[in-house]
Amino acid sequence: MEFTHYYGKHRRRSNYVIQKDVLHKGKTFLFRADFGLTEAIQDLAEELGHTDSKVIKDILEDFFLEQTIKRQREDVEDFIK
């Protein structure tokens, strides 16, 4: 929505489309972690000297990287045989 000095029913709306090939600020995910998971994340963050969100982001990136490598390895094994 564009910033204007009008409020309420006089407010103007703009239809912006997010382009998929342009880097945008990331989406924020919210979730509830149980006590054990929260403790583990906070302990690891203290140990590494990072924030909790940085640790969670790194864990998720590693997980999806491992999944990608696993799929690529399966594709290559089928090609070699």
Q: How far apart are CA 52 and CA 78, in angstroms?
A: 40
Q: How far apart are CA 34 and CA 51, in angstroms?
A: 18
Angle between helices 52-80 and 35-48 (to 10 degrees): 90
Give a yes or no: residue 5 inside a domain. Answer: no
Per-residue model confidence (pLDDT) at position 20: 67
Number of domains in the chain: 1
Q: Which domain holds residue 47?
A: 25-80
Give a yes or no: residue 17 inside a domain. Answer: no
Give a yes or no: residue 42 inside a domain. Answer: yes
Q: Tokens 């204007």 appear where?
A: 4
- The reported pTM is 0.62
**In the numeric block, which tokens belong to residue 15?**
């239809």
pLDDT digits 0-9 by tens, 11-40? 566 666 666 676 667 778 888 999 999 999
Q: Which helix (H) or strand (E) holds 71?
A: helix 52-80
Give a yes or no: residue 72 inside a domain. Answer: yes
pLDDT digits 0-9 by tens, 33-62? 999 999 999 999 999 999 999 999 999 999
Give a yes or no: residue 36 inside a domain. Answer: yes
Q: Give the CATH number for residue 61.
A: 1.10.1220
